[in-house]
Amino acid sequence: MQDKKTQQQRPKKLSRFLPLFILLIFILFALALGARVKNEKSRLLEEKSNAMVQERPPVNVVVQEMVPTLLRDRLNLPGMVEPWESLNILAEVRGMVEEVLVEEGDHVNQGDLIARLDTSDYENTKNSIRASYNLAVTNLKRLSGLHDQEIIAQAEYDSKKAEVESLEADLAIAELQLERCYIRSSISGIVNELPAKKGLYLAVGDPVATVLDIDRLKIIVGIPETDVDAVRRIDRFEVIIEALQNKKISGAKHFLAVAPESQAQVYRLELEVSNTSGEILPGMFARVEIIKEEFPEALAIPLYAVISRDNKHFVFLEEDNVAKLQEIKLGILDGWHIQITGGLAPGQRVIVVGQRSVDTEQRLNVVKKVTNPAEIAR
């Protein structure tokens, strides 16, 4: 009786799971069908893409063959020309200008006379002090014998001796004042300014002339703090004077400041340049080229040949007249050439003209091949 009841329950259990089983089979079938459709779709898209590439006519391009070359990591900074030395000559004594012996633009040597003040008052003062000094010396000599014989007191002798020494000092001052009436240049250079005029009364400290030493010049450059360490190791620099048709000269490092001069955090660099011809003038604008590092065997391409996508950099290569996309790594920029530090090897051919018009696997027509980008426009 029990067995018969059990046999009746089994068909009921099977009929309960049958719909689930059918549903599972249907799901598996749908997944398999979907995967097949997806694969077929991808295959059709790929075939369509290849067909479109093959159907498109070849794109005319110019390629550059990768050849190692010299690259320089360089700075190009503005600078200003200053005289090697600028001397403002001031009056050291007061008096009327009696004679001016130079003109603006004249070259003077160290010690040359610039102007002369009226000396009459200073000569009279000197002569008066000299007369008093001579009398005091005579009196001291007469008292010296009496002092040796102990006829006069020591105090009287000491007083006369002090008087002689005081007058001697006054005489030296008077001679110095008289000498300062003859105003001289303490450096060699060009008279750039000459405010002193004949008949003009000068007080102490009034300007007489400005003399500039321009046989040598300083080129003043502000160095960013990030480049100070590189500049510290360099002794000579190339300087371009734009006002003289971009004349190139060599400058030697004279001084590099140990502290910045402003909130811009730039350090003062002074370069020494020779100017015996006098062609370069103070105030001219200069550009200073600072070569921080050289790469003698670098691979480089024009910057415009690089294609950037999602913070990555690519170029198109030409291989058997077909375009290939290649990821690269960039280095320093030298002018409009960019260093390639990874992704390229010597001998490979990079598309440098027409790269914006090609796709991967695009057929190409190489109209020109160069090894130097400067040849592209020829």
Is 144's pLDDT higher than 50? yes
Number of residues assigned to the chain:
378
Q: 9-23, 92-106, 153-167 — which one is most confidently predicted on average?
A: 92-106
pLDDT category at 274 given cuts 50, 70, 90 is very high
Compute the distance between CA of residue 43 and CA of residue 172 in angstroms, rounded to an integer: 110
SS (H, E, C) 91-151: CCCCEEEEEECCCCCCEECCCCEEEEECCHHHHHHHHHHHHHHHHHHHHHHHHHHHHHCCC
Would you state the structure tokens that stand for residue 15, as one six-digit string?
A: 């009929």
Is 322's pLDDT higher than 80? yes
Is 190's pLDDT higher than 80? yes
Backbone angles phi, psi at 336, to 5 degrees: -105, 15
Element (H, E) at 1: none
301 by DSSP, 3-state: which? strand
Whole-number pLDDT of residue 140: 76
Whole-number pLDDT of residue 2: 47
Is 356's pLDDT higher than 70? yes
The mean pLDDT of 138-156, rounded to a whole number, is 71
Is 325's pLDDT higher than 90? yes
Where helices occur in 194-241 by DSSP H, the ranges are: 228-232
Query: Among 44-53, 157-166, 235-244, whose mean pLDDT is lowest?
Result: 44-53
What average pLDDT is seen over the chain?
87
Parallel, antiparallel or unpaired: strands 207-224 and 69-90 = antiparallel
pLDDT category at 13 given cuts 50, 70, 90 is low
The mean pLDDT of 279-294, rounded to a whole number, is 93
Instruction: Return the amino acid letter for 293.
Output: E
Within 10 A of 233 (CB to CB), how many other CB atoms are there? 8
Please give the C-alpha separations between residue 70 and each of 120, 169, 259, 338, 339, in angstroms, as whole numbers. Answer: 73, 72, 34, 12, 10
Is 108's pLDDT higher than 90? yes
The mean pLDDT of 321-338, rounded to a whole number, is 92
